[in-house]
């Protein structure tokens, strides 16, 4: 009772292995009647091709490696959803490599490791520019960056600068003192992305254009404790009415918590705009910038698939734009 092979299918269908392989890979040159009999044989035996043998013989394993940081946030769950659905449609398998720390990154980069045996590579949210310039990344197979940008590779990324501009333009129209909370990016970390720098630059650009200035800015690391502490610091010193751009919903949520604990009226004393549109944002009435994460991920997958299908053109860049979602946390204002 071994796993059925292409031989078994060929025998049952009464054809040669070549023909079976042809229907498996959609090599048009096969009569429709024989195709049907092969297909039914495949069904009968519950046959699935051995990816290892495929890789050896044809150079393809129909497997994609996805390298991403820890899957902590909703963001990565959505990212994976978009990626996996696209690859699944194309009948590609997916292996996920969570890069929890630098040593794991080094390990996976070891060019012999499993991740590099895949047909293609998806890298998420790394600041890979350095690694490219240092030529540390010798990828023999096609690759795509998602939620990240680097020269010379296909990229699908979010226009975080624009997101900052949108936040700035909207908040500039609100009355009150302006504040901002940013996420701290550790400089020595490979995992550092530039998204918050970009949001910040867009935000300041828009404010400058509107002739407004920020009263104070705060920085927090990306966890709830730090976020709460930043919220406390902000509200301790803030003048009201206060208008705050929290560059991540996590930060905005903590601000809402702390404000409620102090009995502030949200949307009035304090207006808060987040960034992410996390699932709970709607329930809490948080105005925020929604990111089309699934669409971005799907597009990234599509870019990679086109390379796997033989596309040889220059690197392509797909940019996605956040969308302003207004709820009660910024008040009833238009």
Partner DNA sequence: TTGTATGCGTTATCAT
Partner DNA sequence: ATGATAACGCATACAA
Residues in contact with a copy of itself by CB under 8 A are 3, 48, 50-53, 55-56, 61, 63, 70-72, 77, 80, 84, 88, 93-98, 100, 104, 107, 112-114, 117, 140, 224-225, 228, 253, 257, 261, 280
Phi, psi angle pair for 215, to nearest 5° = -70, -40
Give least dist CB 277 to a copy of itself, A: 16
209 interacts with, out of a copy of itself, DNA, none, CB within 5 to 8 A per kind: none
What size, in residues, is the chain? 334
Burial class (CB in 10 A: 0-12, 13-18, 19+), 34: middle
Binds DNA (CB under 7 A): choice among 56, 70, 100, 237: 56
Binding residues for DNA, rule CB under 7 A, total 35
- 16 part of the interface to DNA, by CB under 7 A: yes
Nearest alpha carbon to residue 270 among 206, 331, 180, 334: 331
Binding segment toward DNA, per CB under 7 A, in 30-38, 135-143, 291-299, 300-308:
30-38
Compute and round to an integer the Cα radius of gyration of the chain: 25
Measured from the CB atom, is 117 or 159 closer to a copy of itself?
117
Helix (H, G, I), strand (E, B) or coil at 317: strand
CA 39 to CA 308: how far, in whole Å? Answer: 25
Measured from the CB atom, is 145 or 254 closer to a copy of itself?
254
Q: Which two tokens stand for residue 6?
A: 């292409």
30 interacts with, out of a copy of itself, DNA, none, CB within 5 to 8 A per kind: DNA
Binds DNA (CB under 7 A): choice among 1, 2, 134, 310: 2
Binds DNA (CB under 7 A): choice among 36, 44, 58, 240: 58
25 interacts with, out of DNA, a copy of itself, none, CB within 5 to 8 A per kind: DNA
DSSP 137-194: ----S-EEEES---TTSEEEEE-HHHHHHHHHHHHHTS-SEEEEEEE---TT-TT--S
CA 167 to CA 283: how far, in whole Å? Answer: 21
Q: Which residues bind DNA (CB under 7 A)?
A: 2-3, 5-7, 14-22, 24-25, 27-31, 33-35, 47-50, 53-54, 56-60
């Amino acid at each position: 009772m071994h796993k059925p092979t292409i031989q078994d299918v060929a025998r049952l269908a009464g054809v040669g292995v070549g023909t079976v392989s042809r229907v498996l890979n959609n090599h048009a040159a096969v009569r429709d009647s024989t195709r049907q009999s092969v297909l039914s044989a495949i069904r009968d035996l519950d046959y699935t091709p051995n990816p290892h043998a495929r890789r050896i013989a044809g150079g393809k394993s129909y497997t994609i490696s996805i390298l991403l940081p820890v899957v902590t946030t909703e963001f990565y769950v959505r990212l994976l959803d978009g990626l996996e659905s696209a690859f699944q449609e194309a009948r590609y398998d997916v292996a996920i490599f969570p890069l929890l720390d630098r040593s794991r990154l080094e390990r996976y980069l070891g060019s012999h490791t499993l991740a590099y045996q895949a047909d293609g590579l998806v890298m998420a949210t790394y600041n890979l520019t350095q690694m490219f310039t240092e030529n540390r990344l010798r990828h023999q197979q096609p690759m795509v960056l998602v939620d990240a940008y680097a020269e010379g590779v296909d990229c699908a990324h979010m226009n975080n600068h624009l997101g900052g501009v949108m936040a700035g333009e909207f908040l500039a129209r609100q009355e009150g003192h302006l504040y901002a909370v940013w996420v701290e990016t550790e400089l020595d970390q490979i995992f550092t992305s530039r998204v918050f720098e970009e949001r910040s630059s867009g935000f300041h650009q828009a404010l400058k254009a509107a002739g407004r200035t920020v009263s104070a800015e705060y920085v927090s690391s990306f966890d709830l404790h730090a976020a709460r502490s930043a919220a406390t610091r902000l509200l301790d010193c803030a003048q009201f009415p206060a208008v705050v751009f929290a560059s991540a919903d996590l930060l905005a949520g903590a601000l809402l918590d702390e404000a409620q604990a102090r009995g502030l009226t949200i949307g009035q004393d304090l207006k808060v705009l987040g960034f992410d549109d996390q699932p709970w944002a709607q329930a809490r009435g948080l105005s925020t910038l929604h990111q089309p994460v699934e669409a971005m991920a799907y597009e990234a997958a599509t870019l990679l698939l086109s390379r796997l299908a033989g596309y040889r053109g220059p690197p392509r860049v797909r940019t996605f734009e956040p969308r302003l979602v207004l709820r009660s946390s910024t008040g009833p204002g238009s």
